[in-house]
């Protein structure tokens, strides 16, 4: 079992492992698996993976052998601790907690379970690694389970365990989990691709031999010791490409890659990689857009390799992977191999040190579990770019990241107060997508705060979670103020402020929770006129009936929700990058509803028609009439501002512009979009475009501007 383990095992270690093995055999002696084999085969298989594939040490191997003992037998954690020590007992306890999580097919509950599982990182990071090994063996023996159990387990594996194995650099395990997951969720597809790969195997081997023969002489001449191997893409990745590109199996042109693995000292690895690249491209023309250098800048998972795509024999594109033996082992077996080469045969502390970084993802426990998992997975699979700080330090970010992502990657405080950014010395918009090699300088201001619109811009889970947390705290403060304001206004209307009144108002205003009500009162989006209308209706017969129904339904939890999440109404459709409110009609071909992902199509006679993104006519319109397409999205009108242009006139005065911008930005937290003020012979006139939340905020802004010495007139320009 232990012949390929990465760790150095002393005689004492081996005795302890043998003791655990004997204990597991005894504990499970009367149990059998669904396959009919003795149950102890399972913990032995898990321990083998832990030792040989993942590369963990003695405590992990022992815990793997014992991981089901407490769950399935009469032995307790105290027994484990007494016989094998506190560390092993702690790991076994973590594994038992995971196995006792409620097993559900519901995706949101799976997501919550995933987060709970990651919380075991705070106990011991080895728990999750052993759990992945446990899941691998369960998938390998899933044939013996009934069909509904197979589908459920395979779906959970694809949703949770394969992405996690990917993030931990366990590529061999990740690939096997994905293929097995596909086998039990889409068996016909899996079998079809497997059979076609088997049929084409002989042709593939001939092609690789033909390709290799052309470069072998040149490699031998340089004295390079190497192996050339063909690597077939996994069944899962071929299926993914067929689906994403909407092509058949035969149309997937890069079903295999050629891998050149060379021997090299650590010092010469990079030099030799580029030497081999030069030899390959002397024989075959490279595709310049397909060069990937993960040797100079390894992936955050530790992956190192040089990739290129060349035009091979018979006009076929071939992906070439060039890597040393060390790089190849890391690529296949993950961080255990990485730390073995970096530190020698050390204990698990090196691996643990890296894995502890995952805890950062758990800091914001308020994030919705489903969002948490989707953000986590987004960051797992995202391609990486490499950018620089003003001092020249390099940072790795997912492809598509913006300057705000970069700001939060530097520090949460930098992200919170980011008011602008320079990329390569030039000012850019917040939505600017960073490119590898960019050098970014973040401009901060203590008065700046995150905006809701930032959530649509950022890519990384770190930035999203920080922004949501900050906005949520701000919403709580506004809601608290709103509750006090509502109490005063109801008192003025001679209406008692209590739970019944609050629930009536929530229903009358078509909101979801009392928190929604307080928040909207606080930010001014519910005006006095609406409260007066409620007060008038309250006394009529309809309202009496409404209250009677309310009393009958007091057990309905929807009427007494106190959630601190503001409901998303999606009550307004805006168009273009400037989020303008324009007249539109819904298209009859796809009948979109508020909240759908949509786009606008500018017709010749009927103005803007709104279509769903997946409308049957979408492809035709997008391809033939792209110039008539306008982006569109649904927003919650109380959460987003709208643009207003004001005309200012008066007597020119020194520092006037400074006073205007100070009133707008500092006192009211209103965003300035455009500012144009000109003066002549002591008189000035200007236009200023701002983002305001509602009419109340606009009224306050106009009043404040009129108080500035020298300003004679402030009026709104109606476009």
Write out the two tokens for 527: 């005006």
pLDDT at 380 over 90: no
pLDDT at 1 over 80: no
Write out the two tokens for 155: 């779906």
Residue, of 134 and 701, whose pLDDT is higher: 134
Q: What is residue 345's predicted lDDT score, i.e. its pLDDT?
A: 44
**Is 71 annotated as catalytic?**
yes
Pick the CATH number of 382-459 from 2.40.37.10, 3.40.50.720, 3.10.20.30, 3.40.228.10: 3.10.20.30
* Bridge partners (DSSP) listed for residue 394: 388
**Is 205 annotated as catalytic?**
no
In 3D space, the residue among 450, 500, 440, 439 whose CA is nearest the CA of residue 475 turns out to be 450
pLDDT at 557 over 50: no
pLDDT at 33 over 70: yes
Edge-to-edge strand list for the sheet holding 426-428: 426-428, 418-423, 440-444
Write out the two tokens for 317: 């594109």
DSSP 3-state helix, strand, coil percentages of the chain (rounded to 5)?
55, 15, 30
pLDDT at 354 over 50: no
Q: What is residue 134's predicted lDDT score, i.e. its pLDDT?
A: 92
Lowest mean pLDDT among 28-32, 249-253, 412-416: 249-253
| Average pLDDT value for residue range 9-24 | 88
Q: What is residue 543's predicted lDDT score, i.e. its pLDDT?
A: 46
| Mean pLDDT of the chain, nearest integer | 79
* Bridge partners (DSSP) listed for residue 306: 293, 322
Lowest mean pLDDT among 237-241, 291-295, 515-519, 708-712: 708-712
pLDDT at 421 over 80: yes
**What architecture does CATH give domain 11-188?**
Orthogonal Bundle (1.10)
Catalytic residue (one of 22, 26, 37, 71):
71
pLDDT at 302 over 70: yes
pLDDT at 379 over 90: no
pLDDT at 69 over 70: yes
Lowest mean pLDDT among 61-65, 370-374, 398-402, 461-465: 370-374
pLDDT (tens digit per residue) in 308-323: 989 888 888 888 999 9
What distance in Å separates the CA atoms of residue 279 and residue 458, rounded to the nearest whole number? 41
Q: Domain 642-717 is classified in which CATH homologous superfamily? A: ACT domain (3.30.70.260)
Q: What ranges in 493-630 are assigned the alpha helix state H?
A: 499-508, 514-522, 528-538, 541-552, 618-624
* Bridge partners (DSSP) listed for residue 675: 688
Per-residue pLDDT band for 122 (boundaries 50, 70, 90) equals: low
φ/ψ of 217, rounded to 5, equals: -60, -40
Would the CATH topology of 382-459 be identical to that of 642-717?
Answer: no
Residue 98 near residue 127 (C-beta atoms within 8 A) = yes
pLDDT at 352 over 50: no
Per-residue pLDDT band for 224 (boundaries 50, 70, 90) equals: very high
Q: What is residue 555's predicted lDDT score, i.e. its pLDDT?
A: 44
What value, to the nearest 5°, has the Cα angle with vertex 407 and ends 401 and 410?
110
Residues 6+ apart with CB under 8 A from 701: 646, 663, 664, 668, 670, 690, 692
pLDDT at 390 over 80: yes
Lowest mean pLDDT among 20-29, 433-442, 662-671: 662-671
- Domain coordinates of the chain in residue numbers? 11-188, 197-343, 382-459, 468-559, 572-635, 642-717
- Cβ contacts of 503-511, under 8 Å, gap ≥ 24: 503/550, 503/559, 503/560, 504/534, 504/538, 504/543, 504/546, 504/547, 504/550, 505/534, 506/559, 507/546, 507/550, 507/559, 508/534, 508/537, 509/534, 511/567
pLDDT (tens digit per residue) in 588-630: 888 887 778 889 998 888 889 999 888 878 777 766 677 788 8
Please give the torsion angle defined by the CA atoms of residues 642, 643, 644 and 649, in that order, rounded to the nearest 10 degrees.
Answer: 140
Lowest mean pLDDT among 360-374, 525-539, 586-600: 360-374
pLDDT at 100 over 80: no
Q: What ranges in 319-425 are assigned the alpha helix state H?
A: 325-333, 335-343, 349-355, 369-381, 403-410, 412-416
What distance in Å separates the CA atoms of residue 440 and residue 420, rounded to the nearest whole number? 11
Residue 522 near residue 482 (C-beta atoms within 8 A) = yes
Best-predicted range by mean pLDDT (17-31, 269-283, 546-560, 606-620): 269-283
User: How many alpha carbons lie under 13 Å from residue 283 in its C-beta half-sphere?
Assistant: 18
Provide DSSP, 31-55.
-B-TTSSBTTHHHHHHHHIIIIII-
In 3D space, the residue among 66, 85, 59 whose CA is nearest the CA of residue 28 turns out to be 66
* Bridge partners (DSSP) listed for residue 384: 398
The Cα-based distances of 178 to 172, 327, 391, 533 in angstroms read 10, 23, 41, 59
Whose tokens are 């088997």? That residue is: 198
Q: Domain 197-343 is classified in which CATH homologous superfamily? A: Beta Polymerase, domain 2 (3.30.460.10)
């Amino acid at each position: 079992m232990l012949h390929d383990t990465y760790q150095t095992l002393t005689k004492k270690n081996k005795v302890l492992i043998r003791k655990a093995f004997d204990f597991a055999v005894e504990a499970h002696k009367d149990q059998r698996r669904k396959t009919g084999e003795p149950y102890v085969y399972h913990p032995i298989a898990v321990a083998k993976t832990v030792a040989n594939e993942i590369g963990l040490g003695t405590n992990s191997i022992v815990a793997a052998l014992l991981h089901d003992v407490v769950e399935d037998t009469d032995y307790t954690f105290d027994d484990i601790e007494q016989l094998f020590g506190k560390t092993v007992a702690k790991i076994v306890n973590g594994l038992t907690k995971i196995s006792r999580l409620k097993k559900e097919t519901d995706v949101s509950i799976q997501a919550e379970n995933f987060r709970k599982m990651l919380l075991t990182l705070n106990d011991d990071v080895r728990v999750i690694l052993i759990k992945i090994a446990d899941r691998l063996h369960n998938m390998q023996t899933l044939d013996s389970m009934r069909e509904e159990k197979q589908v459920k387990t395979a779906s959970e594996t694809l949703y949770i365990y394969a992405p996690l194995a990917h993030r931990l650099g366990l590529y061999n395990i990740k690939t096997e989990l994905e293929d097995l997951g596909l086998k039990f969720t889409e068996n016909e597809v899996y079998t079809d691709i497997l059979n076609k790969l088997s049929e084409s195997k002989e042709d593939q081997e001939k092609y690789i031999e033909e390709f290799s023969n052309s470069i072998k002489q040149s490699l031998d001449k340089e004295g390079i010791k190497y192996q050339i191997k063909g690597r077939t893409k996994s069944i899962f990745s071929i299926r993914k490409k067929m689906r994403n590109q909407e092509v058949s199996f035969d149309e997937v042109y890069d079903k295999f890659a050629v891998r050149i693995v060379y021997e090299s000292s650590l010092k010469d690895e990079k030099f030799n990689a580029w030497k081999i690249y030069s030899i390959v491209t002397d024989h075959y023309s490279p595709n310049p857009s397909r060069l990937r250098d993960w040797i100079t800048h390894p992936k955050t998972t530790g992956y190192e390799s040089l990739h290129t795509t060349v035009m091979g024999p018979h006009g076929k594109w071939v992906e070439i992977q060039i890597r040393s033996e060390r790089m190849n082992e890391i690529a296949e077996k993950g961080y255990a191999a990485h730390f073995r080469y970096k530190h020698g045969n050390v204990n698990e502390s090196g691996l643990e040190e890296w894995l502890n970084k995952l805890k950062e993802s758990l800091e914001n426990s308020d994030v919705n579990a489903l969002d948490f998992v989707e953000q986590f997975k987004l960051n797992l699979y995202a391609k990486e770019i490499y950018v620089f700080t003003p001092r020249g330090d390099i940072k790795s970010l997912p492809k598509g990241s913006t300057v705000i992502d970069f700001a939060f990657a530097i520090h949460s405080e930098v992200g919170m107060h980011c008011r602008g950014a320079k990329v390569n010395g030039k000012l850019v918009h917040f939505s600017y997508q960073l490119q590898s090699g960019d050098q970014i300088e973040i401009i901060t201001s203590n008065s700046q705060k995150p905006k809701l619109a930032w959530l649509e811009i950022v890519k990384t889970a770190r930035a999203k979670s920080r922004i949501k947390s900050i906005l949520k705290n701000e919403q709580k403060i506004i809601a608290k103020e709103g509750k006090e304001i509502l109490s005063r206004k109801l008192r003025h209307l001679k209406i008692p402020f209590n739970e019944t009144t609050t629930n009536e108002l929530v229903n009358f205003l078509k909101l979801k929770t009392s928190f929604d009500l307080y928040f909207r009162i606080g930010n001014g989006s519910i005006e006095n006129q609406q409260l007066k209308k409620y007060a008038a209706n309250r006394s009529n017969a309809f309202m009496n009936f409404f209250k009677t129904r309310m009393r009958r339904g007091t057990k309905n939890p929807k009427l007494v929700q106190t959630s601190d999440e503001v409901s998303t109404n999606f009550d307004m459709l805006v168009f273009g990058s400037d989020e303008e409110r324009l007249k539109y009609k819904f298209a009859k071909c796809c009948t979109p509803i508020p909240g759908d992902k949509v786009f606008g199509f500018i017709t010749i006679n009927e103005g803007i028609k709104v279509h769903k993104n997946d409308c049957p006519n979408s492809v035709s319109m997008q391809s033939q009439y792209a110039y008539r397409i306008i982006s569109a999205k649904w927003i919650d009108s109380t959460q987003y501002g709208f643009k207003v242009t004001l005309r200012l006139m008066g007597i020119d005065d020194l520092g006037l512009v400074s006073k205007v911008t100070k009133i707008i930005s500092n006192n009211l937290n209103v965003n300035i979009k455009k500012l144009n003020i000109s003066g002549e012979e002591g008189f000035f006139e200007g236009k200023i475009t701002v983002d305001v939340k509602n009419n109340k905020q606009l009224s306050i802004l106009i009043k404040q501007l009129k108080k500035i010495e020298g300003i004679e007139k402030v009026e709104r320009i109606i476009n």
